[in-house]
């Protein structure tokens, strides 16, 4: 007899995401997801292998969604400075399109969500998401300063990670227009100074 398959994996990932956001990572269990979706425990284990893989794939989906949206914003922005500002503002745009994924990706601590028992394939995909962000920073650094060294990437890390975290995320101001203006001004100031000499 064939094992049951999940025809809509996003239904399962949506449920896992909602549980993690509402009640914390510990709430994401196979039983809880089965109850929320009506999918059997067996089908969940067959499709995801383990709770760890299910949780990992939920986080990876949120990461892929964010990185894809950020890349679209950068491509549409045009010139170098405007592209960096668009990338920095991506969390606010992401929240408007994927509110639950935003909460998971930016509010739930990754180390609490993702344990040490992740399958190797999931670990590799997680590492790839980090490489995607670094590649974007190098692309922007070359566009701005014709360089992709560590100092240039560090400057863009400040613009794309540190400033949005401090101004928008840590203070829960993703929808605050003044905070968006402050973020743009801060990014422009950092870019005006530029990276340390290579």
The verdict on residue 3 lying in a domain is no
Query: If you ran DSSP here, which 8-state letter would residue 162 be given?
Result: I
Question: How far apart are alpha carbons 7 and 155 in whole angstroms?
Answer: 44
The verdict on residue 1 lying in a domain is no
The verdict on residue 180 lying in a domain is yes
Question: pLDDT confidence of 112, banded at 50, 70, 90?
Answer: low
Segment 11-35 mean pLDDT: 92
The verdict on residue 2 lying in a domain is no
Judge contact between 135 and 71, C-beta under 8 A. Answer: no
Quick one: tokens of 119?
Answer: 């399958």
Judge contact between 126 and 67, C-beta under 8 A. Answer: no
CATH of the domain at 168: 1.10.357.10
Domains: count for the chain: 1
The verdict on residue 198 lying in a domain is no
Segment 6-31 mean pLDDT: 89
Residue 132: the pLDDT is 94
Place of tokens 């269990």: 29
Show the domain range for 30: 9-193
195's enclosing H/E stretch is none
Question: How far apart are alpha carbons 179 and 187 in whole angstroms?
Answer: 12
pTM of the model: 0.89
Judge contact between 162 and 113, C-beta under 8 A. Answer: no
Q: Which residues contact 129 (CB under 8 A, 6 or more apart)?
A: 60, 63, 64, 67
């Amino acid at each position: 007899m064939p094992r049951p398959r999940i025809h809509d994996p996003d239904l399962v990932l949506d449920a896992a995401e909602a549980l993690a956001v509402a009640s914390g990572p510990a709430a994401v269990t196979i039983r809880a997801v089965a109850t929320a979706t009506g999918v059997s425990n067996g089908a969940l284990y067959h499709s995801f292998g383990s709770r760890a893989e299910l949780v990992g794939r939920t986080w990876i989906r949120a990461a892929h969604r964010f990185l894809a949206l950020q890349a679209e914003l950068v491509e549409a922005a045009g010139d170098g400075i405007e592209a960096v500002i668009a990338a920095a503002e991506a969390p606010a745009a992401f929240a408007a399109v994927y509110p639950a994924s935003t909460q998971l990706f930016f509010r739930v601590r990754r180390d609490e969500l993702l344990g040490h028992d992740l399958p190797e394939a999931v670990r590799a995909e997680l590492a790839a998401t980090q490489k995607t962000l670094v590649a974007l920073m190098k692309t922007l650094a070359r566009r701005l300063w014709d360089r992709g060294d560590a100092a240039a990437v560090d400057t863009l890390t400040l613009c794309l990670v540190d400033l949005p975290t401090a101004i928008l995320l840590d203070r829960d101001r993703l929808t605050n227009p003044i905070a968006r203006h402050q973020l743009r001004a801060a990014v422009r100031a950092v870019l005006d100074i530029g990276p340390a000499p290579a």
